[in-house]
Structure 1
Amino acid sequence: MRFSISILLVLIFFKSTAQSYELPTVHLEELTFIEVKDALNNGVKSVIIPTGGTEPNGPHMVLGKHNFRVKYLAQEIALKLSDAIVAPTIAYVPEGRIDPLEGWMNLPGTIHLPEKYFMKLIEYAARSFKQHGFKDIILIGDSGGNQNGLKKVSESLNLEWKDTNVRVHYISEYYKSSSISTVLDSLETEGFNPKDFGEHAGLTHTSRLLAINKELLRVDIMETLEYNDWSIDENRRLGYGGNPSQSSVKIGIRLNNAKILDCVDQINKLKDESRK
């Protein structure tokens, strides 16, 4: 199951009171400014800002795991919302510390953006979208280090814009999807060992990317890996925890779908509740 934005074949239909409006893609960077203007005039009022990260994910998975995954899931969320487009993915996020070295910065390929700059980046992206007429600005983060900054930006801008009709929504269900635990419980009853699920780049994380694009994994390496205990600090230098060799496309689809539906539900609720 390969994800490719450039050959998206299905036209996206946006509903307005006047007519159905179609776009060739939900991705902002693949649209012209005229197409965005027309979309805004025909019922498109939501924009999703996806944030990923560039960090090690074991010897079997590319550094951009978070970016590829969040871009795909943001697309699927937008399609289900039917009134949203997707901003360019933000690949530079908090990842530790450069001096002295901390977290993933100990391993090559990691890109770190301190939280205060990450928050400014999100803030001014949101301000840009407000300027052009978007009413619901949706923040999702695929990496744990993104969550605090996204939440703070949404709270700050909502306070500033409380007398307007523009709202910024931090989607906590994206990172801590309540339905994921249900899927994991099902996997356990099917015979999978919960230890294999992993905290980072294990069975669950690997399956979710495998379901999006197999070419982003080194499957020959993945299949040879064994369980790695993430709780041991020195083991983290391997870049993964859990057991990636147990991963599958089928599991990844189940996990991704659960997350997408949880996010859509939370977004729709926040749209209503934030304006009461």
Structure 2
Amino acid sequence: MPTFRPLPSSRRAVLTGCTLLGFGVLTLQHSWPAPAVQRIAMAEMTWVEVRQALDQGYTTALVPSGGLEQNGPYLAIAKHDSIVAWTARRIAEGLGHTLIAPVVSYVPQGDFDPPTGNLVFPGTLGVSEEAYAGTLEGIARSLKGQGFRTILFIADHGGSLAPQQRVAGKLDRDWAPQGVRVLSVDDYYVAGNRAQTLWLEAQGETAATIGGHAGLADHASLMATAPERVDFDRAPPPLLARLGLAGDGSSGDPRRATAERGRALLTLQVEAALAQIRRFTTPKS
């Protein structure tokens, strides 16, 4: 018969401490008093604050994605990140009881070899659609496991929409029976951009002055959200010639942009997103 040997006192103390720590963490998650929620950006919160926010009904999470890409000679590469961080906060405030996940910066940007699209320009950083989709799914699964009941994907970059839609559709079908909903907020980009174009046309702009990628709207939006990242004196034309690039990566007439216009344009995107989210979350009678 084996002889029972008690653990040394030092090991008993360690095991006891670990047990108490684990019990303490579980207890803290549910017993600490819950002060009013002061922050809604998860990256700025402690885990205790997130737990307390969940306990107070903050069970909706926004997952914004931006992108690191060339935006012509005047806009910083993190244009999308800056804009979607600003709009995500306004959307969360409009919804109420909503927390914001950190911006996903790495998104699909085109083919790598040979490079296409924005990847032709130095500084653009992209991932495959599969990698991006996997990132979104991992974030959503993390949020679901923590108790979030509504998960909203919002992309500021057009190339992110298709994989975002696939992930949201799959997870929503799988999780809806459990009471967890997932939405790709496409109207933020699609309806929002359409509304921006109509607004600019009403202001007297034309397709030529509005442009598309890194156009008037992008410049105005960044002037409203991160003006330090817009500089019309940044890149002299000879630099473009030395790089062998046919264009400078921008379009339209960026110098017609103003911060005031940017705030109006961003409001249209926020309103388009809020309208779609409210249709999605409103119980059907």
Superposed CA offset, 1:118-139 (max 9, x none): 1000001000000000000000
Alpha carbon RMSD of aligned pairs, Å?
A: 2.2
Q: Which runs of 5+ in 1 are unaligned?
A: 1-19, 226-233
Number of positions where the alignment pairs a residue of Structure 1 with one of Structure 2: 246
Q: 2:228 aligns with which of 203, 206, 215?
A: 215
Aligned to 1:40: 54
Superposed CA offset, 1:165-217 (max 9, x none): 00101101111125x54453343343323311111111111101111121011
Structure having the larger proportion of residues in strand = 1
Alpha-carbon separation, structure 2, partners of 1:219 and 1:24: 37
Alpha-carbon separation, structure 2, partners of 1:95 and 1:185: 27
Q: Report matched runs for 1:84-103 at 5 Å.
A: 84-103=98-117
Alpha-carbon separation, structure 1, partners of 2:45 and 2:176: 30
Question: Could you tell me how far 1:272 is from its partner in structure 2?
Answer: 2.5
Q: 1:264 aligns with which of 262, 268, 274?
A: 274
Alpha-carbon separation, structure 1, partners of 2:155 and 2:195: 21
Instruction: Say whether residues 1:241 and 2:227 are aligned partners.
Output: no
Q: Secondary structure at the match of 2:214?
A: coil
Question: Could you tell me how far 1:271 is from its partner in structure 2?
Answer: 1.4
Give the counterpart letter for 2:116 in structure 1. Answer: E
Alpha-carbon separation, structure 1, partners of 2:194 and 2:157: 18
Residue identity over aligned pairs, in percent, reads 30
- TM-score, normalised on structure 2? 0.81
Q: 2:148 aligns with which of 100, 115, 134?
A: 134
Aligned to 1:81: 95
- TM-score, normalised on structure 1? 0.83
Q: 1:270 to 1:98 in 2, by over 3 A?
A: same
Aligned to 1:167: 181
Q: 1:21 to 1:150 in 2, by over 3 A?
A: farther
Aligned to 1:115: 129
Give the counterpart letter for 1:188 in structure 2. Answer: E
Alpha-carbon separation, structure 1, partners of 2:258 and 2:107: 28
Q: 1:181 to 1:98 in 2, by over 3 A?
A: closer
Aligned to 2:37: 23
Q: 2:216·2:254 contact (CA, 8 Å) conserved in 1?
A: yes
Give the counterpart letter for 1:129 in structure 2. Answer: L
Alpha-carbon separation, structure 2, partners of 1:119 and 1:170: 12
Aligned to 1:185: 198
Q: 1:181 to 1:118 in 2, by over 3 A?
A: closer
Q: Which runs of 5+ in 2 are unaligned?
A: 1-33, 238-244
Structure having the larger proportion of residues in helix = 2
Question: Could you tell me how far 1:252 is from its partner in structure 2?
Answer: 0.6
Q: 2:196·2:217 contact (CA, 8 Å) conserved in 1?
A: no
